[in-house]
Amino acid sequence: MSRKQVLRPEPGRGHDPAHDRATAPPADDTGCPILHVDMDAFFASVELLERPELKGTPVIIGATGARGVVLSATYEARRFGVHSAMPMTRARRLCPRAVVIPPSHGKYSEVSKSVMEIFHAITPEVEPISSDEAFLDVGGALRRLGPPAAIAAMIRAQVAERHGITCSVGVASSKFVAKLASRHCKPDGLLVVPADGVVEFLHPLPVAALWGVGERTEQALVRLGIRTVGDLAHVPPATLRREFGAVGEHLAALAWGRDDRRVTPHAPDKSIGAEETFSHDVDDPEAIRRELLRLSERVAARLRAGGHIGRTVSVKLRRADFTTITRSRTLREPTDVAKEIYATACELFAAAGLERVRLRLVGVRVENLRPAAAATRQLGLGERETGWREAEMAMDKAARRFGPEAVRPASLVRPPFDGMDL
């Protein structure tokens, strides 16, 4: 299209913004302060930093068990139809030559945090969507850093220089169009959709590109002869309201590029949790309790890393027939100590009456969070500090230096279940 700009570096040229600008015609980014930055195959890209010999080959990140799912895949694997959230068994059938690498969540969190720091150095108006994508409103940074497209090129260059991985950036007048733009120029691209070129960009796209159009809605639209965004845009609003209610009005607005949502800086976490899907159903209560301990350790470490404490502990228990039961308890004092979280999780597990029932998934979550620095724990009469928090903080330090398996409770010094942390 004449009004959009896709930038990709030539092979071997890296991410030089000056080269980008020299090899593509300038796009009119006036009135386009919204950026959507999306890391390319993020988990896979981080893993390949330590496995450079695998670059250019199909690689899948995910657990290898029968119930594992794909977390990420290189674009070489995606050409075979592999995508995230796909069952690993299907992914391996589609791409039997792919190298499968178990996930390393600590590495991803570390790189994600550093990437978000790049964004915040440009503008405080950053809205993370996940660990590997975010919206930015750079309107307040234009005088200092230049036009939106130049800022987008700067972000791509800094991410590549600091981490050796790539990202794609959409630049537009709204969040909806910016996100579509980043997807449109993947991988390793920059796409500007001018404010007066939104309709030209949107209308040829398939109707499934619109936010809110899932599989069922798409099927209903296709039955009405609506296959593209342009088709939808020209359907009378009364027809859309009759067929889809309020959702129809929402889709009609998006079809004309109307999206007035603002970039909202990240709200504080409301809860932190971890869960595990077993490779086979488990009915051994001791095995379940070991898994609750492992998950409690993980949740507590995430709480401390984020500077949070929480007062409500909940467990999630999914039976073999997919029936899911949750139980929660509010503590007297908020905590970030794994020992306290684990003790409560075990009590909730026992109270659920599922100790001899086959389970396929268990989870631990801490809610009602508050900043750890703002809280002071009151000791009861005659009560003594346990030192557990200090011990676990020492474990955090060892894990950061030597890896997450460096220090563990004795009961966890055995192969963990082959599952997927969701």
From the annotation, which residues make up the binding site for Mg(2+)? 38, 132
Length of the chain: 422
Is the preceding peptide bond at 25 cis, omega within 30 degrees of 0? no
Residue 133 annotated among the catalytic residues of the structure: yes
Nearest one of 63, 54, 56 to 92, comparing CA atoms:
63
- The CA radius of gyration of the chain, in Å to the nearest whole number, is 24
Q: Which element (helix H / strand E) includes 221?
A: helix 215-223
Active-site residue, from 133, 275, 297, 340: 133
Tokens 């379940």, residue located: 288
Q: How far, in Å, are 268, 369, 401, 403 from residue 296 at the CA level?
A: 21, 16, 21, 18
CB count within 10 Å of CB 309 equals 25
Residue 189 to residue 184: CA distance in whole angstroms: 9
Residue 219 to residue 96: CA distance in whole angstroms: 32
CB count within 10 Å of CB 410 equals 6
Residue 197 to residue 142: CA distance in whole angstroms: 21
Instruction: Write the burial class of residue 387 (CB in 10 Å: 0-12 exposed, 13-18 middle, 19+ buried).
Output: exposed
Beta bridge partners of 273: 365
Three-state DSSP class for residue 30: coil
Contact between 326 and 362 under an 8 Å Cβ cutoff? The reply is no
How far out from the chain centre does Cα 17 lie? 27
Nearest one of 301, 395, 316 to 352, comparing CA atoms:
316
Dihedrals φ, ψ of 159, to 5°?
A: -65, -45
DSSP string for 238-305: HHHHHHHTHHHHHHHHHHTT---PPP-PPPPPSEEEEEEEEEEEE--HHHHHHHHHHHHHHHHHHHHH
Residue 390 to residue 336: CA distance in whole angstroms: 11
Give the pair of three-digit tokens for residue 346.
């075990």
Contact between 271 and 362 under an 8 Å Cβ cutoff? The reply is no
Q: Which element (helix H / strand E) includes 325?
A: strand 324-335
